[in-house]
Structure 1
Amino acid sequence: MVFLSFTPPWFNPWLDVWSQMPGLTLATTPEAEYGSFVLTGVLMTLVVIYGVSKLGGELSKRFGLPPVLGELLGGVLVGASVLHLIVSPETGAIATDSNLMGLLQRLGNLDGAALEHIFASQSEVISVLAELGVIVLLFEIGLESDLRELSKVGYQAAVVAVVGVVAPFLLGTVGLVAIFHTPLIPAIFAGAALTATSIGITSKVLSDLGQLKSTEGKIIVGAAVIDDVLGIIVLAVVASLAKTGEVDLLNVVYLIIGASAFLLGSILLGRFFNQGFEAIANKLQTRGALLIPAVAFALVMAIIANVIHLEAILGAFAAGLVLDETDLRKELDRQVMPLADFLVPIFFVTVGAKADLGVLNPFEPANRAGLIIAAFLLVVAIIGKVITGWAVFGQPGINRLAIGFGMIPRGEVGLVFAGIGSASGVLDKPLEAAIIVMVILTTFLAPPLLQVVLNKPNDPNAPADKSVLENSLSS
């Protein structure tokens, strides 16, 4: 349901006049010329994304909140919940659900079939740009994450990740079966959706707060990376359950070995790669001599990760960790920031745009069962991650709440679980709505909670991470 119309009634006559003037219409509509309309749709969408991300980020920062929260809320404003400017076929939307597509149709005299074709193509382009955005974000996070420092908290990060996967999965699955009498496979699917952690959202909040290199930040990022690997394995298991009703153990073993070998192999080979990378970068004389080879390396690593059925962002993060060891890291980090400023907002705004707050409306009878289950899932989602802070050992004075809160946001990862479950027919409408509500609320709750606990560090004498703070302020 459209809550607000993008084109007010008084503007329609002007559109009619425009559409009747051949010299001012965008183009004719033969299929060969759809490309110009796709480009126009992409450009219009980017204008909306950049405008709302900057406005939301600035307002959020003025209220003392992380800018990423403003970008997410800006996405909600222009997305499926309010203005319907940015909607996605992934959520079941069609061209006529998009007010931007409606404007494009009026400007170009497009018929329904042409508009659907343009909508699908334009949405795919934006989706690819969003994926590139999160790849660049994780590459940047890898560059800012000192591998030697991460290794110092490796055991703690691994324990946090395992607890953060096992606890919510067991609590969610058992609770749904015992309390709500949910069938076992849908309950397992919902429990699996509770295991995810959005490393993109958490790491951006930590960077905005200047806490990425704090002990808590390193544990959270390390745990989120491991959690991402475990999440891939869990996703493979539940997807197999959804399709066949049984688990392919060979596939699970393959994923575990593949993920471990990829990360360890990347780090070990990186020591040899760095020398060659520096030699190449120093010999190149044209613009982008450092940035282009580095980004190309990150993309190659993302491709390799994707080919072996891991997440592309895992490859980008590994590439950042490898290049963090080079002497050129500080200059590279400086050059990557403008690229991240261009692409990363697309990711966060589109995540917010996909969140349909209509499922939170208690006056809709179809939503009530889902809201009750959602309340249960939200409690489990928070408790199952907050307790991870108390799984840390050998770190006296650690801010355990910060670690727990940092693991809370599910973000796009949780939406992937919900989408696969919906597409496979495993989830009924109430359970699907409950998962979506849980994902939305955990995504928006985590940034302000982290803001509160990280503004009150346990060790007041701990040195501030000056470089990260300066980067955050400059952005």
Structure 2
Amino acid sequence: MTIFPSLFFDPFLKASLPLLATATETDTESSALIIAGVLLSLVVIYFASKLGGEICARIDLPPVLGELVGGVVIGVSVLHLLVFPEGGASASDSLLIQFLLKTSDLTPEAAQSVFATQSEVISVLSELGVIILLFEIGLESDLKELIRVGPQAAVVAVVGVVAPFATGTAGLIYFFHVPTIPSIFAGAALTATSIGITAKVLAEIDRLSSKEGQIIIGAAVLDDILGIVVLAVVASLVKTGEIEVFNVIILIVSAGAFLIGSILIGRLFSPLFVRLVNEMKTRGQLLLAGLIFAFILSYIAQVIQLEAILGSFTAGLVLAETEKRTELEEQIIPVADIFVPIFFVCVGAKTDLSVLNPAIPSNREGLIIAAFLIVVAILGKVITGFTVLGQPQLNKLAIGVGMIPRGEVGLVFAGVGSASGALSASTDAAIIMMVILTTFVAPPLLRVVFKEPKVALEEQSN
């Protein structure tokens, strides 16, 4: 019984060993070149993010816009340094892969495999970046402040979510005949408000502690919470590919139950978390414990057909109520500085702005859609200030203008929509244009509308 296998397999093994050795060597070389491709991609991503961010910071614009524009420049719209297979690109379209072909022993036959794997690694790092970003946003949010500001902020936030979402979705479906799911996704992107951008401008003009400033910040916090729930529901609809009222209700209830349940359970868990961290003796105990908690909630959200970002955002909200909040915020910044730019640059790199070129007749509809989204995005937030009733002394226009900027939160919507495949190239580019424009116009407008009452008061006193 032992002779037959020996006689049969020995010649086969002798003939196969050189092939196996060659295959192993090829795999090893490909792995090394994949790592080289990833490293090159990260060099380009970090360079584009810092250059763009520094330029924007010097002209008093949010650095995140510079990261987005840097991504557009190195991506499919301009330089083709960072392109992705899901956008229809191949190894021959990537200048990074072409650089690898010229500077290494990468063969044209293996180039496509290296390109696909390298792109997948960068996409995973980008997804990790948005998870960490939402964890950071959750840490910066203050539920107690939201409760203190009270129903006024709640009304502003709810109107600021419902009005642009309903108007944007209905307009895209009935006027532009965009399919339902992409329309809902675009409408959802209109709901976002960037706390960071508005808070920065309010602090610069010394209005952060004013009644208007408190309402704006409180409403923006609630806007983020409602917006992330909307995003989780819409992204789940994309996975199922169909819209049924019962399923939508189930998703909304699931997202709300997950958010509220996680916060309530987290409050019970947080003393144990603090005690556990205090007893640890190794380096990085708070940061790693916080990330473990964030990743666990992200995993739970993902497996129950919601989005991982809802889990990480909820984890941030829970830990923001502990005594470790400030320390954890400081420790998460370097981690966010490593991963978050990858997300924003990738969003820009995947955006094909050529679909908005007016010289091409077929692109003009996309431009009209972009203009429509921009108008709805601005008006849908401006009206929110006028929903605060019974306080004539309030600068209601300033409240509405303070809700306009979409910033990093709007980019999260665009990035998730692009990754899900729900958006066409023109709709995706239109959303990006909406985010860029609202983020650009909001800071100067906010300064203008806050100056008017001050000038009026000075004139009255004279």
TM-score where L is the length of structure 2? 0.80
Residue from 356, 374, 392 that aligns with 1:378:
374
Q: Quickly say closer, same or farther: Cα 1:375–1:297, change in 2 above 3 A.
A: same
State yes or no: 1:443 paired with 2:435: yes
Letter in 2 for 1:219: A
Q: Distance in 2 between matches of 1:117 and 1:87?
A: 14
Q: Distance in 2 between matches of 1:69 and 1:169?
A: 23
User: Based on CA coordinates, which of the two structures has the bigger radius of gyration?
Assistant: 2
* Higher mean displacement: 73-82 or 211-220: 211-220
What's the counterpart of residue 224 of structure 1? 224
CA contact (8 A) 1:197 1:224 kept: no
Residue from 321, 344, 360 that aligns with 1:348:
344
State yes or no: 1:387 paired with 2:370: no
Letter in 2 for 1:322: V
Q: Distance in 2 between matches of 1:87 and 1:359?
A: 16
Q: Distance in 2 between matches of 1:310 and 1:394?
A: 39
Query: 2:285 is paired with a residue of what secondary structure?
Result: coil
What is the RMSD of the two structures over their aligned residues, measured on CA atoms? 3.2
CA deviation digits over 1:329-365, x for unaligned, max 9?
2222211111111111111111111221111212223
1:446-465 equivalences under 5 Å are 446-455=438-447, 458=450
CA contact (8 A) 1:415 1:439 kept: no
Shift of 1:445: 1.3
CA deviation digits over 1:143-197, x for unaligned, max 9?
22222112234645554454344433443454456545x3xx7256325412225
CA contact (8 A) 1:158 1:226 kept: no
Q: Distance in 1 between matches of 2:385 and 2:129?
A: 29
Q: Distance in 2 between matches of 1:321 and 1:338?
A: 20
CA contact (8 A) 1:196 1:228 kept: no
Q: Distance in 2 between matches of 1:331 and 1:461?
A: 39
What's the counterpart of residue 193 of structure 1? 186
Shift of 1:296: 1.1
State yes or no: 1:72 paired with 2:39: no
State yes or no: 1:359 paired with 2:355: yes
What's the counterpart of residue 331 of structure 1? 327
What's the counterpart of residue 404 of structure 1? 403
Q: Distance in 2 between matches of 1:290 and 1:160?
A: 36
CA contact (8 A) 1:136 1:344 kept: yes
Letter in 1 for 2:430: M
1:70-219 equivalences under 5 Å are 70-153=66-149, 155-156=151-152, 158-176=154-172, 179-180=175-176, 182=177, 186=179, 189-197=182-190, 202-206=194-198, 209=201, 214-215=213-214, 216-219=216-219
Q: Distance in 2 between matches of 1:144 and 1:163?
A: 23
Shift of 1:373: 3.8
CA deviation digits over 1:242-266, x for unaligned, max 9?
x45xx33332222122111111112
Q: Distance in 1 between matches of 2:364 and 2:281?
A: 63
What's the counterpart of residue 459 of structure 2? none
Shift of 1:444: 1.0
Q: Distance in 2 between matches of 1:334 and 1:297?
A: 17
Shift of 1:389: 3.8
What's the counterpart of residue 280 of structure 1? 276
Q: Quickly say closer, same or farther: Cα 1:273–1:56, change in 2 above 3 A.
A: same
* Higher mean displacement: 392-401 or 99-108: 392-401
Shift of 1:405: 0.7
Shift of 1:85: 1.0
Shift of 1:103: 0.6
What's the counterpart of residue 21 of structure 2? none
Query: 2:82 is paired with a residue of what secondary structure?
Result: coil
What's the counterpart of residue 300 of structure 2? 304
Letter in 2 for 1:261: A
Percent pairwise identity: 48
State yes or no: 1:30 paired with 2:26: yes
Q: Distance in 1 between matches of 2:218 and 2:155?
A: 13
Shift of 1:221: 2.8
Query: 1:368 is paired with a residue of what secondary structure?
Result: helix
Q: Quickly say closer, same or farther: Cα 1:165–1:141, change in 2 above 3 A.
A: closer
Letter in 2 for 1:450: A
TM-score where L is the length of structure 1? 0.78
Shift of 1:32: 4.1
Q: Distance in 1 between matches of 2:371 and 2:351?
A: 17
Q: Distance in 1 between matches of 2:227 and 2:174?
A: 27
Shift of 1:453: 3.8
CA deviation digits over 1:186-217, x for unaligned, max 9?
25632541222585x82443465576995223
Q: Distance in 2 between matches of 1:325 and 1:343?
A: 25
Shift of 1:440: 1.9
* Structure 2 residue ranges without an equivalent (≥5): 1-23, 455-462
* Higher helix fraction (1 or 2): 2
Q: Distance in 2 between matches of 1:194 and 1:400?
A: 21
Q: Quickly say closer, same or farther: Cα 1:155–1:80, change in 2 above 3 A.
A: farther
Letter in 1 for 2:133: L
CA contact (8 A) 1:195 1:231 kept: yes
Q: Distance in 1 between matches of 2:343 and 2:315?
A: 20
CA contact (8 A) 1:367 1:433 kept: no
* Higher mean displacement: 268-277 or 39-48: 268-277
Residue from 41, 47, 51 that aligns with 1:51:
47
* Higher mean displacement: 316-325 or 151-160: 151-160
CA contact (8 A) 1:360 1:367 kept: yes
